[in-house]
């Protein structure tokens, strides 16, 4: 979701500062958008689906639901707002190396002052293609593009009237190739993403009933982030048998770092959160929970949270909807 701000025509000189304020709220919201991402294998490494940072895997899967809560800070005339999102995300392999994704969120806004608002955010579509995989090195690289479809959501919750395209580079690396004297670091892995969010309109203007002109700058943004995870399944299977119950051996502690940095049109600075959490990866689904700790006041001043139930469709329905449309 995004927030707009109203400027009078005589106050247009204040645009850069207001644009920066708008940008900070905009990018905070973008950083807190809740897509769900893929799981996959590279060699002997299993990567779970991360919650808020994208990863390079092409997969058949469904997140239903993802529920998140975060309080955005007050900004100018706009009060601080509690935002709760209920999201659905599904991805489908077209081939082994190429997949598509769809996401939608129902948003509930509760401002400190003013009426509660509810509605759907813009829906998103995504394409992803795996370009490189190295099984012994547990390394993978993909490229993708996301399309946040402008006007498909409700203005009541601040859905943009313009589209945003985000071409993205995605990577993953496990550390199973570390030497024996560092074997207890082998369960570590990192996934990450770097992309540029490009709005279809550089600014949007509207004229209010009283003749005031509302101008919103829509900057390009650097969308980046990474997730660091420590796989207890990897520890148990490849490093040292833990002797723990299967329940504990399927836990994967994770810390995610979703970030957004402004690139132009008066926008600068970075917003984002640090998300420590835990993923339990079962045979057919995973459950996960993370805290969302804002990195600065422009992002927020309170800790939020996110929880998710995520199904592995390729494991649930391997001979029907859980396999690529076109197989080699």
Partner 1 sequence: MKPLWLAVWVTACAAIATSPARAHAFLDHAAPVVGSQVRGAPSSVTLWFTQELEPAFSTVKVLDTQGREVDRGDKSVDPRDRTVLRVTLSPLAPGTYRVVWRVLSVDTHVTEGDFTFTVVP
Per CB under 8 A, residues contacting partner 1 are: 41, 43-44, 46, 64-65, 86, 183, 233, 236-241, 243, 246, 249, 283-285, 309, 311-312, 314-319
The residue (of 43 and 119) whose beta carbon lies closer to partner 1 is: 43
Query: Is the bond preceding residue 36 a cis peptide, omega within 30 degrees?
Result: no
Radius of gyration of the chain (CA): 21
Which of residues 182 and 207 has its CB atom nearest to partner 1 in the complex?
182
State which residue, 108 or 296, has the beta carbon closest to partner 1: 108
Query: Taking the complex as a whole, how short is the minimal distance between the CB of residue 317 and partner 1, in angstroms?
Result: 7
Nearest-approach distance from CB 53 to partner 1, in angstroms: 23
What's the closest the beta carbon of residue 321 comes to partner 1, in angstroms? 12
134, 94 Cβ separation under 8 angstroms:
no
**Which H/E stretch holds residue 234?**
helix 232-234
| CB closer to partner 1 out of 46 and 165 | 46
Query: Between 219 and 322, whose beta carbon lies closer to partner 1?
Result: 322
Tell me how far, at minimum, the Cβ of 237 lies from partner 1, in Å: 4
Q: How far apart are CB 77 and partner 1 at their closest, in Å?
A: 32
The Cα 68–Cα 303 span in angstroms is 11
CA–CA gap between residue 159 and residue 122 (Å, rounded): 6
Nearer to partner 1, 211 or 246 (CB): 246
Cβ atoms 56, 130 nearer than 8 A: yes
Cα atoms in the 13 Å half-sphere on the side-chain side of 133:
14
Q: Cβ of residue 254: shortest distance to partner 1, in angstroms?
A: 18
Q: Is 314 helix (H, G, I), strand (E, B) or coil?
A: helix
- Phi (first) and psi of residue 9, to 5 degrees: -60, -35
- Nearer to partner 1 by Cβ, of 23 and 312: the residue is 312
Length of the chain: 328
Least CB distance to partner 1 at residue 84 (A) = 12
User: E strands within 135-284?
Assistant: 139-148, 164-174, 188-199, 203-207, 213-217, 221-230, 251-262, 270-281
């Amino acid at each position: 979701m995004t927030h707009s701000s109203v400027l009078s025509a005589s106050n247009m000189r204040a645009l850069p500062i207001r644009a920066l304020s708008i940008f900070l709220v905009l990018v905070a919201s973008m950083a807190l958008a809740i897509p769900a991402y893929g799981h996959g294998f590279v060699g002997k490494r299993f990567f779970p689906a991360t919650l808020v940072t994208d990863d390079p895997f092409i997969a058949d899967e469904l997140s239903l639901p993802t529920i998140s809560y975060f309080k955005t800070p007050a900004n100018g005339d706009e009060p601080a707002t509690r935002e709760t999102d209920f999201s659905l995300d599904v991805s489908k392999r077209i081939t082994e190396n190429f997949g598509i994704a769809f996401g939608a969120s129902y948003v509930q806004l509760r401002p400190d002052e003013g009426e509660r608002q509810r509605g759907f955010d813009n829906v998103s579509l995504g394409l992803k293609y795996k370009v490189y995989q190295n099984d012994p090195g547990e390394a993978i690289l993909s490229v993708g593009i996301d399309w946040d479809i402008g006007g498909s959501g409700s203005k009541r919750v601040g859905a943009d009237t313009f589209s945003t395209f985000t071409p993205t580079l995605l990577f993953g690396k496990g550390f199973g190739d570390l030497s024996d004297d560092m074997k207890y670091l082998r369960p570590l892995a990192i996934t990450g993403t770097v992309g540029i969010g490009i709005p279809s309109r550089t600014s949007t203007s509207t004229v209010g009933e009283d003749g005031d002109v509302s101008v919103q700058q829509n900057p390009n943004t650097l969308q980046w982030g990474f997730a660091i995870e420590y796989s207890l399944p990897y520890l148990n299977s490849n490093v040292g048998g833990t002797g723990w119950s299967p329940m504990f051996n399927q836990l994967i502690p994770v810390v995610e770092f979703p970030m957004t940095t402004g690139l132009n049109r008066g926008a600068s600075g970075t917003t984002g959160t640090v998300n420590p959490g835990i993923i339990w990866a079962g045979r057919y689904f995973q459950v996960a929970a993370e805290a969302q700790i804002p990195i600065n006041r422009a992002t927020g001043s309170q800790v939020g949270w996110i929880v998710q139930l995520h199904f592995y469709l390729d494991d649930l329905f391997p001979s029907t909807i859980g396999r690529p449309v076109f197989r080699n």
